[in-house]
């Protein structure tokens, strides 16, 4: 196969269409929300697919109403400013203060001009996200000159539809 053949094979396998698998009714790792479905919905949104059916499914699972009043906080700053550390502390304090609430973190990393890749390493610096009441999803900007992924709003809406409190 050779190195080029292996790389092409990996890329080909990664570009298979995302489908929803049958759900066995049990949430993994004592999660409070079905993070698998939420992750798939965000991936479908990133792929440009119509995710209305998935959002409706998330609403069924979570019991979310059509109008969710989830609070949204945006944090921005230059590289190395401490955004991940501040976010981790906010998540930790939120989970400790509100023991019945859930939190979702959407993290965005800029894609590199040369490679087109993004490090997406925020979760390495965050310890509080290991809670079953916390969900974290990393998004790449996919464009080197952008600060946000164009799918951030859709990811936020999906987390709101899944009834995350913050």
Q: What is the pLDDT of residues 4-56, one digit of tens each?
A: 888 888 888 776 665 555 556 677 667 888 888 888 888 888 877 665 666 66
Q: What is the pLDDT of residue 125?
A: 73
User: For residue 125, what are its two tokens?
Assistant: 């610096």
Residue 6 main-chain phi, psi, to 5 deg: -65, -45
Alpha-carbon distance of 84 to 51, in angstroms, equals: 29
Q: What's the mean pLDDT in 83-105?
A: 93
User: Which of 34-38, 73-77, 85-89 is the least confident region?
Assistant: 34-38
Query: Strand, coil or helix: what is 107?
Result: strand
Q: Which helix (H) or strand (E) holds 55?
A: helix 52-62
Q: In this prediction, what percent of the chain has a pLDDT beyond 70? A: 68
Residue 65 pLDDT > 70, yes or no? Answer: no
Please compute, for residue 143, the number of CA atoms within 13 A of its CA located in the half-sphere on the CB side: 7
Q: What is the pLDDT of residue 88?
A: 92
Q: What's the mean pLDDT in 136-159?
A: 78
51: CB partners within 8 A, 6+ apart: 41, 44, 45, 154, 158
State the chain's mean pLDDT as an integer: 78
Q: Do 159 and 96 meet the contact criterion of CB atoms below 8 Å apart?
A: no
Q: What is the pLDDT of residue 95?
A: 95
Q: How many residues does the chain have?
A: 166
CA 136, distance to chain mean position in Å, is 5
Q: What is the pLDDT of residue 126?
A: 81
- If one counts every other C-beta atom within 10 angstroms of the C-beta of residue 42, the result is 22
């Amino acid at each position: 196969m050779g190195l080029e053949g292996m790389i092409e094979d990996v890329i080909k396998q990664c570009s298979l269409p995302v489908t929803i698998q049958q759900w066995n009714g049990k949430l993994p790792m004592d999660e409070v929300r079905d993070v698998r479905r939420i992750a798939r919905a965000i991936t479908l949104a990133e792929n440009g697919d119509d995710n209305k059916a998935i959002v409706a499914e998330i609403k069924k699972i979570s019991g979310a109403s059509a109008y969710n009043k989830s609070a949204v906080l945006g944090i921005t700053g230059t590289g190395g400013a401490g955004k991940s550390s501040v976010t981790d502390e906010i998540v930790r304090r939120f989970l400790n203060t509100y023991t019945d609430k859930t939190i979702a973190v959407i993290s965005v990393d800029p894609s590199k001009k040369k490679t087109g890749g993004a490090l997406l390493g925020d979760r390495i610096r965050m310890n509080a996200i290991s809670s079953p009441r916390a969900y974290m999803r990393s998004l790449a900007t996919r464009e080197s000159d952008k600060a946000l992924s164009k799918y951030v709003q859709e990811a936020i809406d999906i987390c709101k539809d899944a009834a995350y409190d913050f």
